[in-house]
Amino acid sequence: MRRIPPEMTDRARQLRNEATPAERIIWRLLSSYRPAFTRQLVIGNYIIDLACREARLGIEFDGSQHLERQSYDDRRTAFLESEGWRVLRVWNNDVLANPEGVARLILEEAAECLGGTHPQPLPSREGRVRRPRYE
């Protein structure tokens, strides 16, 4: 028995193959980073555009069609949050205008979900006297 219905898997595959320009740009910028991101992840009856499983962060790329589907998007976000996911919505126009800035925002959000970075880095080896290797 499969955990994900085959039609959802097929739909996710189709969406990966027909990615929007905004999705392609961000994927190109984030695909080499760790923690790993994945495209078109099926969760329940919904498909997240881009997700970081380790951080439980879902990124949704919204175009103008989302203005008419606000109640559907609200239900999807509520479901994902009830499953422990954090949802970040990004407008396609923002991605196209500033892809590096959006990628940085996504990476910072993922870091925050994973506990963030230490507010003050650990001290370096200041004041430490280095022993000579060979005497």
pLDDT in tens, 77-93: 999 999 999 999 999 99
Please tell me the pTM assigned to this model. 0.73
pLDDT given at position 14:
83
Supply the Cα-derived Rg of the chain in whole angstroms.
Answer: 20
Residue 71 has pLDDT above 90, yes or no: no
Fold designation for 6-113: Endonuclease; Chain A (3.40.960)
pLDDT given at position 1:
46
Say what percent of the chain tops pLDDT 90: 46
Tell me if 89 sits within 8 A of 67, measured CB to CB. no
pLDDT given at position 82:
94
pLDDT band, residue 12 (cuts 50/70/90): confident
pLDDT given at position 80:
93
- Each domain of the chain, given as residue ranges in start order, spans 6-113
Residue with tokens 């078109």: 40
pLDDT tens figures, 23-49: 999 999 988 888 889 999 999 889 999
Of residues 39 and 124, more confidently modeled: 39
Q: What is the 3-state secondary structure (H, E, C) of the chain?
A: CCCCCHHHHHHHHHHHHCCCHHHHHHHHHHCCCCCCCEEEEEECCEEEEEEECCCCEEEEEECHHHHCCHHHHHHHHHHHHHCCCEEEEEEHHHHHHCHHHHHHHHHHHHHHHCCCCCCCCCCCCCCCCCCCCCC
Can you say whether the dihedral through the CA atoms of 4, 38, 107, 22 is positive or negative? Answer: negative
pLDDT tens figures, 105-115: 999 999 888 88
pLDDT band, residue 2 (cuts 50/70/90): low
Tell me if 129 sits within 8 A of 53, measured CB to CB. no
